[in-house]
Amino acid sequence: MAAGLGLKTFVTGDVLTAADINGYLMQGVWVFADAAARTAAVTSPQEGNMSYLKDTNSTEYYSGSAWVAVGGGGGMTVIASGAHSGTTIDISSIAATYNYLYFTWSDYQPTTDSDYLRMRFNNISTANYAGVFGNEELNIAVSVSALQMSQTQDNGTADGQGAVTILDYKNTTSWKFTQAVALTNDPGTATNARLARIAGYWNNTSAINRIQVVTLSGNSFNLNYVLYGVK
């Protein structure tokens, strides 16, 4: 498809040529279900072409070599959100179209006192995870079934909150590292709070396409959450 010719005001009696149609009328924003549908439909994109993807609610332009999100780096797209009540938050079919993932949570309230939140990837719960609080040395010995993402929380309150950054989640050649920060209520002491800074890793080279959030006890919990994809 030819590059756009800009803006032209047509008047009564003008005859549209093939060049007019390709250069003026075909330069709108194309709408596709996802990136795969766009690739199948547009086999030779031209610099400046625009598209909208329904699955990620994102508008992108073709730079001449790749499709790029409008607005450049740093754009955040909501992948999933909700007010959870149950045993597991399960977010699947995460597209590999972002640079990293950012999970925020608030109003955490477990049904079991002193319980804390954990995160695992691709429905894998074997001992492929490890983490560390604060500035402690990270023990490379893989030993746990999920990443810890908070301190313990009083089940009498719903005020725990925090965020987890999942770096380079679509990489298929290296382990996945995460960073988390959380503020939770100290069980049994309503006036105290616990601030946790947690670094962790997943000893797996697979791209992450599914995220699950559970508690250490495996019991139900209430939580408001948003998962963002960040360009």
Q: Which residue has the tokens 């993402």?
A: 149
Give the model's pLDDT for residue 154.
85
The CATH number that domain 18-69 falls under is: 3.40.1620
* pLDDT of 225 above 90: yes
pLDDT higher at 66 or 115:
115
Report pTM.
0.68
Q: Output the DSSP codes for 77-137.
A: EEEEEEEEEES-EEE----S-SSEEEEEEEEEEESSTTB-EEEEETT--SS-EEEEETTPP
Q: Is the pLDDT of residue 74 over 60?
A: no
Query: What is d(CA 174, CA 153) in angstroms, rounded to the nearest whole number?
Result: 33
Q: Is the pLDDT reported for residue 144 higher than 60? A: yes
Distance, in Å, from the CA atom of 42 to the CA atom of 32, rounded to the nearest integer, reads 10
Mean pLDDT on 130-154: 79
Confidence at 17, pLDDT banded by 50, 70, 90:
confident
CB atoms within 10 A of CB 84: 19
Q: Is the pLDDT of residue 79 over 70?
A: yes
Give domain limits for the chain: 18-69, 76-230
**What CATH class is the domain 76-230?**
mainly beta
What mean pLDDT is predicted for residues 164-190?
Answer: 88
Q: Is 75:231 a contact under the CB 8 Å cutoff?
A: yes
